[in-house]
Amino acid sequence: MDEVVIRVENVSKQYRLGQVGTGTMSHDLNRWWHSIRGKEDPYLLVGEENDRTVTGKSDYVWSLRDINFEIKRGEVLGIIGKNGAGKSTLLKILSRVTQPTTGNLFIKGRIASLLEVGTGFHPELSGRENVFLNGAILGMSKKEIRSKFDEIIDFSGVERYIDTPVKRYSSGMYVRLAFAVAAHLEPEILIVDEVLAVGDAEFQKKCLGKMSYVAGQGRTVLFVSHNLSAVQTLCTRAILLNKGSVRIDSTVERALDEYGSMDAKKYSERFWEKESAPAFHDKIVRLHSIRVLNKEGQVKNLFDVKDSITIEAGYWVMEEKYSLNVHLYIKNNVGQTLFVSMDNLDSPWKDKKQPPGLYLVRCEVPPNFLNEGIIKIEYLICLNPHTGMNVCVDDAVTFQVIDDKNTNGVRGNWQLPWPSAQIRPRLEWKIERVQNS
Amino acid sequence: MKSREVTSHWDLIIRSKSSVFDLDFKSIWKYRDLIMLFVRRDFVANYKQTILGPLWHFIQPLITTGIYLLVFTKIAKIPTDGINSVLFYMSGITLWNYFSSCLTGTSNTFGSNAGIFGKVYFPRLVSPISSIISNLMKFGIQFLMLVLMMICFSVFKGEPFYLGLSWLLIIPLLIVMAVLGLGLGIIISSLTTKYRDFAVLIGFGVQLLMYATPVVYPLSFIADKSYKFLIVINPLTYLMEAFRFAIFHHGILSIYLIYSLGFTCVMLIMGLIMFNKVERTFMDTV
């Protein structure tokens, strides 16, 4: 069980930015000139870390830098990270599509990846011919494909069209046939890149299903995803990549926790300058801040469904003139409002004018209340009684709620994913047996 | 050396720096099924939704022969070395087609396969090798037609039909032609991943090369011409002449075939080294 099946040693990958043109030629010549004199590649020294948002000085970036890790047989490793963290580059190197700039990789067993679905399908060939072609591209022998052919066709459900050119297939049929081939590869190591997996929700679900099946048989899985809930449910270990380096390699819980606080300040905390803050009524009321905090009062971007979430909003009052009313709109990823909460019920200044100063209101979303997903908060202040004027910031902060496989939350001993719903409150149930049969 | 011990039990080691001679022929053999499936794909996909299908292989050389007959025999009055001019041109076209389709087919290996290569690994040489084999099938069809024409001409027009041991020469000639096409093709494909200039060059380069090869004229025709050296340094010249010698027993079977063979070997080795170097990282530059 403790056998290492993948070892990654000091792997780095450098990419050149911009167009390939005459500039490339001179760099190539310079590189060649260095190499025949036995010197090191001069351009390996100038690379910068990969940060999309900053204009770099160099034409070269390190998409991966000194990556080291090992994977043991039977592990289900999640690889998480923001866009551009190097996840896909790492997979490309592992699947031998491109070579690392430095470092070595050691692999034991056959690797297959579900990002290859439909690779090499030729539109003019029939489904049958494409099954053989695609299977051979993925590394199966003709004999192997023939022995699994009926199974593949069964699984795909396109038996009737098997001798029709695939260009006549609907896109759904096409993907199903392609997936059926990939699903019958039986690799020792399976790579799933959900980030690249185009396809509908059903298809993504199929990928996940295949993955947990493979994992269940004690084979090794590498899983790249933005779907943190899926990572939490399926993986036994996680690596967090950040700007091309391993930020954390640990349990899923720790990696997700780190992921949640990595950019927390960017997404889950917002401050406004006193002078330029959104304001109303001759700037008598000005917004100050809004933050999303955990129980310990730290800014967090990621919460478990079992966590309590505190939203803290601040505002300035410049003159003693009004009684104010804070509204928090809790919205989902697509902007639908799940619910609204107001502070008036608990406010000590209910029906009273508020004296000048900085006010902080805190509102706690109880544990076991929100469902999984991305939550956006709209922050609004108006007068009470309402005059029609207000100050409001949409998407003031966002955070994400995820669910793990532990059974001590609302899910109880329910094993499958929670049915999709906006909220998932813990409600009191009373169950009694009212009659003997 | 701890690492030396561990390396033995890994199935696959990916290194950032690898020797240029690190060619993996074993894995190409492992993917032989894929080679044959690619051949089939090329052949079948070409004629899907055509009425004449593989008959097109007959039509193209027939029409070309007609044109050459008009231009080079009727207008330019170039002799064909005592061989019937229709058969002379057709034999030239058949062999030249094989070489040029091998060369152009393999010279765009990386460009036309970028979609597949970018997603999944298999030995990249599988693609050019399959292209050479599928062209061989095309050659087979055209060669069959050439033989039929030769029989027709001998029956109806009394042209001599020579069948002898020299026909066996065709096999090694074809192999050398194929390897030369492959070698040059993968050199060009390795160069074009980064600099597309060579892709433009190959388009008319192949056409120009045909005129530097005795396809539309016999080697004896230029024996005393001042531009002779252009044709003499061309390794294809001797292959073409030897091919005509093989089927017509007429032409020059020269000792310079060794030069052609040597040239081919050098091109193949150069090609393999360059291809091997480029295939690892071409996805970053293609």
Q: Which residues of A touch B122 (CB under 8 A)?
A: 137, 139
* Reported confidence tier of residue B21, pLDDT bands at 50, 70, 90: low
Q: How far is B207 from chain A (nearest CA, A)?
A: 28
**How many A/B residue pairs have CB atoms within 8 Å?**
104
Task: Enumerate the residues of chain A whose CB falls inside 8 A of the CB of residue B6.
Answer: 106
Distance CA A376, CA A385 (A): 27
By the 8 A CB rule, do A218 and A193 touch?
A: no
Is B18 part of a structural domain of the chain?
no
Could you tell me the residue range of the domain that residue B163 belongs to?
57-284
Chain B residues within an 8 Å CB radius of A165: 48
Q: Does A191 touch chain B if contact means CB atoms closer than 8 Å?
A: no
Q: Note the ipTM here.
A: 0.81
Residue B215 lies in a domain: yes
**Closest C-alpha among A291, A314, A301, A309 to residue A396:** A291
pLDDT on residue B8: 57
The arithmetic mean of pLDDT across residues B258-275, rounded, is 92
Cross-chain CB nearest to A125 (options B45, B117, B283): B45
- State percent of chain B over pLDDT 70: 94
Could you tell me the mean pLDDT of each successive run of 10 residues in chain A, 437 residues long? 83 76 67 72 64 62 89 90 84 86 88 73 88 88 91 86 89 82 83 63 69 81 81 86 88 82 77 87 88 91 89 92 91 85 88 90 92 88 84 89 74 77 88 90
Alpha-carbon dihedral sign for residues A338, A420, A399, A410: positive
Q: Residue B181 falls within a domain, yes or no?
A: yes
A69 Cβ contact partners less than 8 Å away, ≥ 6 residues apart? A7, A8, A239, A246, A249
How far away is chain B from the Cα of A255, in angstroms, using its nearest Cα?
27
Instruction: Look at chain B and report how many structural domains it folds into.
Output: 1
8 Å CB contact of A165 and B118 = no
- Between chains, do A109 and B11 touch, taking CB under 8 Å as contact? yes
Q: Which chain A positions have a beta carbon within 8 Å of B40's beta carbon?
A: 129
Q: Are A416 and A405 in contact (CB under 8 A)?
A: no
**A343-381: b (≥16 Cβ within 10 Å) or e:** beeebebeeeebeeeebebebebebbbbbbbebbbbbbb
**Using one digit for the tens of pLDDT, what is the confidence trace for B193-237?**
877 777 788 888 898 999 999 888 888 888 788 888 888 889 999
- Measured distance CA(A146)–CA(A138) in Å, rounded: 14
Taking contacts as CB-CB distances below 8 angstroms, the residues of chain B near A119 are: 115-116, 119-120
Instruction: Mutate one of B120, B124, B127, B283 to test the A interface: name it (highest A CB count within 10 A).
Output: B120
Of B11, B116, B285, the CB nearest to A137: B116
From chain B, the residues in CB contact with A129 under 8 A are 40-41, 44
Residues in chain A with CB shorter than 8 Å from the CB of B119 are: 97, 115-116, 119
Task: Determine the pLDDT at residue B1.
Answer: 36
Subunit contact B281:A99, Cβ cutoff 8 A: yes
B262 has pLDDT over 90 = yes
- Nearest chain A residue to B37 by CA: give it: A133
* Closest residue of chain B to A102, computed from CA coordinates: B16
What is the pLDDT at residue B3?
45
Residue B98 lies in a domain: yes
H helix runs in A235-353, sequence order = 252-262, 264-267
Q: What is the pLDDT of residue B18?
A: 67
Q: For residues B278 and B193, what is the distance between their CA atoms, to the nearest angstrom? A: 8
In this structure, is residue B85 part of a structural domain? yes
B68 belongs to a structural domain? yes
pLDDT tens by residue, B68-127: 989 988 888 888 877 888 889 999 999 999 999 999 889 888 888 888 888 888 888 999
CA dihedral B43, B44, B47, B52 (to 10 degrees): 90
Q: Is residue B46 part of a domain?
A: no
End-to-end, the C-alpha distance of chain B in Å comes to: 38
| pLDDT on residue A357 | 92
The answer to whether residue B185 is domain-embedded is: yes
Burial class (CB in 10 A: 0-12, 13-18, 19+), B92: buried
- Classify residue B218 as exposed, middle or buried by CB count within 10 Å of its CB (0-12, 13-18, 19+): buried
Cα–Cα distance measured from residue B97 to residue B100, given in angstroms and rounded to the nearest whole number:
5
Q: What pLDDT is recorded for position A109?
A: 86
Closest partner residue to A97 (CB to CB) among B40, B48, B118 is: B118
State residue A42's pLDDT score: 67
State residue B79's pLDDT score: 84
